[in-house]
Chains A and B, each alone.
Chain A
Amino acid sequence: EVQLVESGGGLVQPGRSLRVSCAASGFTFSNYWMSWVRQAPGKGLEWVANIKQDGGERYYVDSVKGRFTISRDNAKNLLYLQMNSLRVEDTAVYFCARVPSSSWYFEKWGQGTLVTVSS
């Protein structure tokens, strides 16, 4: 069974950093593009970042470029999102999601981890 389990969320002050993780199991992690998608409280979904199987290509939504970094460890089946210079508007549940080959949608999702940016 495909499982994606996020962790690392919490309360952080504006301007600080936080790293969230996603542990993958039940499939060959290194064969898939992976993504982060977020959802602010009571709001809709927003794609954040994608990373290629080998980490060689990464794409970001404009609002996080230069502040967030997506990465992965295929040996450990882990996906990361390093978030720097956090802003109040980054407050959201962060979901990791699996992207099928040669397609651009999110076929499996984790349960999400809440990041709250507040002073």
Chain B
Amino acid sequence: SYGLTQPPSVSVSPGQTASITCSGDKLGDKYVCWYQQTPGQSPVLVIYQDSKRPSGIPERFSGSNSGNTATLTISETQTMDEADYYCQAWDISAGGVFGGGTKLTVL
């Protein structure tokens, strides 16, 4: 079945740029989205269709997808960005597929 792989953790200093990757076979042929989840809260969509931002999501959040890797980039990272981030794609056989999640630490 189709799988998406994310690094378990990423650390970044405040004000720096954080990059979180998501890899899967021919992922660039699919649309990828990203969710942010803080402890005890529901996930929030931050990027959809590879690089589009929903209304209300800061411009600091951007996305890209090519080849086998999608990337979520957070510029000028703030302490409020500390959260778990999940990538997600749709596979014709497996249905909705999530990556395992990446814990972003801002310190």
* Partner-B contacts on A (CB < 8 A): 35, 37, 44-47, 50, 59-62, 95, 103-112
* Partner-A contacts on B (CB < 8 A): 1, 31, 33, 35, 37, 42-45, 48-49, 54, 86, 88-90, 94-101
Find chain B residues with CB under 8 A from A61 CB.
Answer: 94-96
Say which residue of A44, A50, A103 sits within 8 Å of B31 (CB atoms).
Answer: A103
Say which residue of B1, B37, B43, B99 sits within 8 Å of A62 (CB atoms).
Answer: B1
Known: A62-B1, A103-B31, A104-B31. A109 touches B95 (CB 8 A): no
How many A-B residue contacts, CB cutoff 8 Å? 61
User: CA A106 – CA B46 in complex, angstroms?
Assistant: 11
Listed by A's residue number, 19 A-B pairs whose Cβ atoms lie within 8 Å are A35-B96, A44-B86, A44-B98, A45-B88, A47-B97, A47-B98, A59-B95, A61-B94, A103-B48, A103-B49, A104-B90, A105-B31, A105-B45, A105-B49, A105-B88, A107-B54, A109-B42, A109-B43, A110-B42
A105 and B42: CB pair below 8 A? no
Find chain A residues with CB under 8 A from B99 CB.
Answer: 44
Find chain A residues with CB under 8 A from B97 CB.
Answer: 47
A109 and B1: CB pair below 8 A? no
Find chain B residues with CB under 8 A from A50 CB.
Answer: 95-96
